[in-house]
Amino acid sequence: MLDPEGRDPHTATTMIELALDVPNTEVAAEHRSQVRAAAAGDRIRMILIDPDAISRHAVSDALRRDGRFIVMAQAESSVEGIELALHYRPALVVIATAVPGMDAVTATQRITSAAPEVRVVLLSAARELELETSAVRAGASGFLDKGAGIASIAHSLRLVAAGESVISREMTCHLVDRLRRTPEDGYGIRPVKSPLTDREWEILDLICSGSTTRTIADDLFLSTETVNSHVKRILRKLGVHSRGDAIAAAGRLRSEILV
């Protein structure tokens, strides 16, 4: 059941009310104790973003019973979830891939870009290698199967909170295969966490290969003006002033992966 503002009474609204010192309801009291525990640093603070209320509450209740997690807030949409994540800065944010509105990968990128200390995990009903790859590129620290069981999910979340990454075996094999096929100079490989978008990396790869603006425009079916705009953004994001410097910066980023 949602409140008059369309929010779940067990979710973010309760946390906001607590900050305003609302009356001591049973739910508010529970969250006050959770906030005190979070301040003590003895449990993992997290936010759940899932449009499926049944699934969301089932995961939330199970993690609370686990005793090592504090579900600070829950959200039904990615937009609301991002707002909560940037406000509370929890250790973990778990996003269901079926979240409405902004897609889960874009939401992941928004959160990790604005709050790098927050680790994001995607929760999916099906294994999709392409989606998992996009999520990792966007900054996700884990990609979990909803059908894995709550004990397995809780274990994986603890690993992520401890600084590890949790991905599927298929994804691991995919990354190993790509690494084996990558030239020694690293050309073509792209860092998982990078300020550049996929399109910007695509253009930077072509610059590294010696392509001119006109060649890049023809290859990617873009205007030369659009290519030049991308190049300016690439230089700005990498903190350099020329294409030669951008090539050197790309080499440094790739060398960090290959070491």
Which amino acid is located at 117 in the chain? E
Provide the 8-state DSSP code for 10. T
Low-confidence winner among 31-40, 47-56, 104-113, 186-195 (lowest mean pLDDT): 31-40
Domains of the chain: 12-172 (3.40.50.2300), 182-258 (1.10.10.10)
- Tell me the two tokens of residue 56: 């969301």
- DSSP, residue by residue, 228-242: HHHHHHHHHHHT-SS
**Cβ neighbours, 10 Å, residue 98:** 16
Contact 183, 142 (CB under 8 A): no
CA distances from 217 to 22, 116, 212, 222, 231 (A): 59, 33, 9, 5, 12
Give 53 or 1, the one with higher predicted confidence. Answer: 53
pLDDT tens digits, 165-219: 898 878 778 766 765 655 554 555 666 567 888 788 889 988 988 889 999 988 8
* Angle (nearest 5°) at CA 140 between 251 and 194: 25
pLDDT digits (tens, 9 = 90+) for 57-93: 889 998 988 889 999 999 999 999 999 999 999 999 9
The percentage of the chain sitting over the pLDDT mark of 90, rounded to a whole number, equals 36
Verdict on whether the full-model pTM lies above 0.75? no
User: How far, in Å, CA of 62 to CA of 69, rounded?
Assistant: 10
Q: Report the percent of the chain where pLDDT is more than 70.
A: 75
φ/ψ (deg, to 5) at 10: -95, 5
What's the CA gap between 76 and 94, in Å, rounded? 12
